[in-house]
Chain A
Amino acid sequence: MKRTLGWISAAGMELILLALCVVLALTAPGFSKPENLLDILRNVSMQGIIAFGMTMVIISGEIDLSVGSAVAFSACFTAWSLRALLALGWSSAVAAPLVMALAVVIGFGVGSFTGLMRTRFQVPSFITTLALMTGLSGAAFLITDGRPIVIEPQWFGFLGAGYLGGVLPFPAVLFLLMFGVFHFVMNYTRFGRSVYAIGGNAEAARLSGIPVNRIRILTLGITSALAALSGILAASQGGAGGPTAGKQWEMDVIAAVIIGGTSLSGGSGRIWGTLIGVVFLGVILNGLTLLNVNEYWQLTVRGALILTAVLINRLHRPAA
């Protein structure tokens, strides 16, 4: 009995999500159709991929506010350099992979920069990524001159909009794959354990000989790289790279992580929780749309639901 209760309180957010789904299945037309459910996964996948990195960053006691702008920058960079290379007569089969790899590497570099500022100069990641949020967005506008750049090769659209076997949305598959990778890394590797230790007590971690600086740089770098990957998917899905891609995603991503039970003060959190948080946000959006709630109401209701969910979750769980 006690064990069952413990399980229920540990599974607080999962139950809230389940309850929400049941309500929507009964009220929202078409909610429970398989294609709709897969569509939800597809819609959350791009933010979701970033959210796994963000979970890691927040567990380590840092934050990254620049991921939304990093998405825009990556989308624009990809579209712009792809167009440039194709104009030089490169084949798209060579140019596209190269450009994508480059975008991800640049993303990693940007995040590492935040990490270096943090470890070398003690600049809080909040500040550096706040600056990058503006800076990267500006860079995206500069590259594109404010207008989306169309991506020529048709096959490129598969990454963001294609279906594996005609059924499974490719980005959703990538999202679930990333879940597996990050779940494994955070639970079964030295790296993951070090992230928890640093977030829980950086000084104790340092005195235990854990390479605190290297791990801080890596977590921030990986998260920015994920944002870049997400930007490529966004460009692919829209068939163009524009500077407004990923606008304010950082807020949705952080919200998903928090809903998933990760503590903003660092040291605790789960990748599984973030998966639930991401899907929760997607389900709300999808459900409200199906219920024909107008957009302004959607925003308001969404805000209220996020707060309610977190509150229920908190009250449910005994204070640590």
Chain B
Amino acid sequence: MTVWKLETEALRKEYPGTVALDDVSIQWEAGKVHALLGKNGAGKSTLVKILAGAITPTSGRILLDGAEVRIANPAEAFAQGIVTVHQELSLVPELSVAENILLGRLPMRKKLGVSVVDWPAAFEQARAVLDEMEVSLDVRRPTRSFGVADQQIIEIAKAMSFRPRVLALDEPTSALAHHETQHLFRLIRQLTARGVTVIYISHRLQELKHIADTITVLRDGRLAGRVEMADATPDTIARLLFGEVMRNNRPDDLKCEETAVFEVRHIGLKDHLFDVNFTLRRGEILGIAGMLGSGRTELLKALFGAEPFDEGEVRVGDETITAPTPARMKALGLAFTPEDRKSEALVQPLSIRQNLCMAAMERIAPTGLISRSREKPFVDEQVAGLQILISSAERPVASLSGGNQQKVVVGNWLNNQPRIVLFDEPTRGIDVQAKQQIFKIMWDLSRQGVSAIFVSSELEELLEVCHRILVLKRGRIGGEVDPAACDFNRLFALCLED
């Protein structure tokens, strides 16, 4: 009988109202890199948090080397040799590398009867950890003086100082450049050569073939399946990630006119976007597909002037713009619903009414004077039109569900009667029914001649909603797709291709 390095047996985690993880049984071999994949909300981070002792499972067991272990808190996880490097680095920037690596465990000595830090020993210990990883960094320097890549390495060194038997890395490359990623990979291979089991979470599917030995996929909190990397094709990964993809509900009267309303010419943004060109037609819903880090969000922000492009120009009607600002683009009939509702779109202390009347304030109060009676028709129109479920528009916007909050974000802009709406991940974190309602809003707008640019990481959504899809790769337009003549796997493969 094989003894697995790490096993989970029927793990289940319930939260009030939802099951985050359900009947997850996985075996991980020693000395290999195991990729753990899944869409947002699939349960990856719940699983990793359970292994790290940050949360406890509702039921199920964890076995290490064939023996059951209990991990009730992070300290017990460390004691078992399970160490996790989370996506957000946990380094203290002002402290030296050595202090960060040995945080909370600095060697002490007695001096005049008082316990003080034994600095020579601390630097020596830290250096030993780095030497073992064949990295040379000055352990006395403050951590903030290093770049993100080196900080990532320091974070891993800190993990290594616990002598882990299992190391979980959550999105370790999300902030790294290509050559830095290569260095990290070499480091990971050293670890596996020494028998460490690595669990590797990443959204960058392209890099997996360079580092992973096996792929484990979670979907909706359940184990969707696992394959050896050698046997994995984009097709199999897509099927595991997304299940059977259906394209339904798409209305058959979706048409758009030939008139160009928005022309993007040679747009560039340092390090993010390169020579992007396209034309948006009246009533068209243009999808932007691309992997994480392809520049999707940057593109929308650049076009709207939130983080303006530094090369090229856009044309709206007769106007040519080279230095956009949100106020300017708004005046030209653009609208932008940002990816992060909470931090970029809604003003939490204000009411639903006030949040619905922000972008269109000039329209609602042309004289500068604002009042509830003036706002009422605008609030009522959006609440009814978008079917926003509220008990009263005077309630704080924070009291709404994700889907209804998103509708408030959209309604805020619709009050300004935009001609072009830029949607950045409008369906993130909202339920299926709310998603369909958002799609319906987009289709209705299209019928009224309002154009849209729709960024989504959910490719099946793009295929369902759009007239046309552009594939963005590393900041460049890498292809154009007609949703009617394309299926999910083909689009997914297009996004993945180098």
Q: Which residues of A contact B (CB under 8 A)?
A: 188-194, 196-197, 199-201, 203-211, 263, 267-268, 320
Report whether B326 and A206 are in contact in the complex, using a CB–CB cutoff of 8 Å: yes
The smallest C-beta distance from A180 to any residue of chain B, in angstroms, reads 15
Q: Which of B315-364 contact A (CB under 8 A)?
A: 326-327, 329-331, 336, 338, 343-350, 354, 357-359, 361-362
B147 CB–A CB distance under 8 Å = no
**Interface SS, A side:** helix
The smallest C-beta distance from A113 to any residue of chain B, in angstroms, reads 23
Q: A193-B361, A197-B358 are in contact. Are A188 and B347 (CB under 8 A)?
A: no
B370 CB–A CB distance under 8 Å = yes
Give A267 to B344 CA distance when docked, in angstroms: 15
Q: Which of B360-414 contact A (CB under 8 A)?
A: 361-362, 365, 368-371, 396, 412
Bitwise, B47-64 to A at CB < 8 A (1) or not (0) is: 000000000000000000
In the bound complex, residues from chain A placing their C-beta under 8 Å from that of B358 are 193, 197, 204-205, 208, 210
Give A207 to B306 CA distance when docked, in angstroms: 6
Having A197-B354, A206-B306, A267-B348, one finds 20 other A-B pairs with CB under 8 Å, namely A189-B368, A190-B365, A190-B368, A193-B357, A193-B361, A193-B370, A197-B358, A200-B347, A200-B348, A201-B346, A201-B348, A205-B347, A205-B358, A207-B326, A209-B326, A209-B331, A210-B361, A267-B349, A267-B350, A268-B349
The smallest C-beta distance from A194 to any residue of chain B, in angstroms, reads 7
Q: Which residues of B contact A (CB under 8 A)?
A: 304, 306, 326-327, 329-331, 336, 338, 343-350, 354, 357-359, 361-362, 365, 368-371, 396, 412
Q: A209-B330, A209-B359 are in contact. Are A203 and B343 (CB under 8 A)?
A: yes
Give A320 to B329 CA distance when docked, in angstroms: 34
Report whether A197 and B359 are in contact in the complex, using a CB–CB cutoff of 8 Å: no
Report whether A320 and B349 are in contact in the complex, using a CB–CB cutoff of 8 Å: yes
Report whether B370 and A204 are in contact in the complex, using a CB–CB cutoff of 8 Å: no
8 contacts between A and B (CB under 8 A): A189-B369, A190-B361, A190-B370, A197-B358, A200-B349, A201-B346, A205-B358, A208-B330
In the bound complex, residues from chain A placing their C-beta under 8 Å from that of B396 are 320
In the bound complex, residues from chain A placing their C-beta under 8 Å from that of B326 are 206-209
Query: B359 contacts which of A190, A201, A208, A263 (Cβ < 8 Å)?
Result: A208
7 interchain residue pairs of minimum CB distance? A209-B330, A200-B347, A267-B349, A208-B359, A209-B327, A208-B358, A201-B347
Query: B344 contacts which of A192, A204, A209 (Cβ < 8 Å)?
Result: A204
Which residue of chain A is the closest to B397 with respect to CB atoms?
Answer: A200
In the bound complex, residues from chain A placing their C-beta under 8 Å from that of B347 are 196-197, 200-201, 204-205, 267
